[in-house]
Chains A and B, each alone.
Chain A
Amino acid sequence: SQQGEEDPQALSIQEGENATMNCSYKTSINNLQWYRQNSGRGLVHLILIRSNEREKHSGRLRVTLDISKKSSSLLITASRAADTASYFCATDLGGNQFYFGTGTSLTVIP
Chain B
Amino acid sequence: DGGITQSPKYLFRKEGQNVTLSCEQNLNHDAMYWYRQDPGQGLRLIYYSHIVNDFQKGDIAEGYSVSREKKESFPLTVTSAQKNPTAFYLCASMKGQGEGTQYFGPGTRLLVL
Do A and B interact with each other, yes or no? no
